[in-house]
Amino acid sequence: MKIGILGASTMGRGLIQHCANCGFDIIYRARSQKSVDSAYQYVSDQYDFMISHGWLAEEKKAENLARIKGTTDIKDLADVDYVIEAAAENMETKKELFKELDSICRPDVILATNTSSLSITEIASVTNRHDKVVGMHFFNPAPVMKLVEIIPGYNTSDATLETAKSVSEKLLKTPIVVKEAPGFVVNRMLVPMINECVAVLAEGIASASDIDKAMQLGANHPMGPLALADLVGLDICLAIMETLHSELGEDKYRPHPLLRKMVRAGKLGQKTGEGFYTY
Ligand code: 3HC
């Protein structure tokens, strides 16, 4: 099966790495040649990292890389069998992409979106295949995290859901089917908690590292919520809080002003070299 992946940023490149490692042929599309090249280099470096830890056999690296092709032209996705979109978390961007994909891909091809909180029904509305659009929400780091939330839109067919579940299983993930709702299950709970940690920090109750230590040692989290926010990207956390706030309308989902200020300052976490920590 050949999978088309749209976007080569944090989630896109993790998916490229993992899908190729699970035996799928991959064509990924980024907007610039620079992003295409940097994603390829990232994936190659990740395979080296995995080899050095004994997680990947050395000969698998060349095999995997041979299955991966990058492009800047979305029309190169014309012959894919399945699409996973992992572009910017913005409704207008996603609608533009899905409209184009709908005109390029075979009519039987399922178009999955890795949106972390947006409406699948609205994304599907710009296509002529409402039954074949589905949410497939992976978690960061994509090669490691075992869960995939599968989200049907209003018109998504049962056959599409079954295929999305089966693709998830071939990617060695555990799928759960979640009704369309802002933030689905994980982000509805996780990101407000991160937002609350930002409030605790802003109120000077504890330092960033002590807040993280508290949740690691006091609640057994594998990494602290502020370090996790840096991993996920503060822009993504803000976008999710904004969706929760505008869709659910409750004050408890209001993004903390410090989160907003840091995003405005370009302190997005690991990807910009600075967030709650410096990298
Ligand atoms: N590529 C492939 N596999 C990797 C890898 C990589 N770069 N790094 C680690 N792994 C695999 C290893 O093979 C290992 O597997 P094994 O147990 O079968 O040998 C496993 O991952 C664990 O590796 P490590 O022991 O080195 O990793 P740690 O124990 O340090 O854990 C972590 C790292 C998994 C990132 C852990 O810190 C963690 O779980 N953090 C929380 C992550 C999280 O909550 N993510 C969700 C964010 S929310 C989200 O993404 C939604 C979005 O919409 C916002």
Distance from Cα 91 to the centre of ligand 1, integer Å: 28
Residue 187 known to be catalytic: yes
Q: How many residues does the chain have?
A: 279
Residue of 150, 156, 138 whose CA lies nearest to 232: 138
CA separation for the pair 274, 279 (Å, rounded): 6
Tokens (6 digits) for 178? 């979640």
Work out whether the CA dihedral 10, 14, 15, 16 comes out positive or negative. positive
pLDDT in tens, the chain (279 residues): 999 999 999 999 999 999 999 999 999 999 999 999 999 999 999 999 999 999 999 999 999 999 999 999 999 999 999 999 999 999 999 999 999 999 999 999 999 999 988 999 999 999 999 999 999 999 999 999 999 999 999 999 999 999 999 999 999 999 999 999 999 999 999 999 999 999 999 999 999 999 999 999 999 999 999 999 999 999 999 999 999 999 999 999 999 999 999 999 999 999 999 999 999
CA distance readout (Å), 50 to 34, 44, 55:
24, 10, 5
Which pLDDT tens digit goes with each residue over 223-235? 999 999 999 999 9
Question: Are the CB atoms for 237 and 117 separated by under 8 Å?
Answer: no
Tokens (6 digits) for 78? 């014309």
pLDDT at position 260 is 98
User: Ligand 1: which atom is nearest the Cα of residue 46?
Assistant: 7
pLDDT at position 15 is 98
pLDDT at position 167 is 98
Residue 116 known to be catalytic: yes
Q: Ligand 1, residues 46, 144, 187, 235: which to mutate, most atoms within 8 A of Cβ?
A: 144
Distance from Cα 276 to the centre of ligand 1, integer Å: 20
pLDDT at position 234 is 97
Long-range contact pairs involving 184-192 (C-beta distance under 8 Å, separation at least 24): 184/116, 184/117, 184/135, 184/137, 184/149, 184/151, 185/149, 186/137, 186/139, 186/147, 186/149, 187/116, 187/117, 187/240, 187/244, 188/244, 191/237, 191/240, 191/241, 191/244, 192/241, 192/244, 192/252, 192/253
pTM of the model: 0.94
pLDDT at position 117 is 86
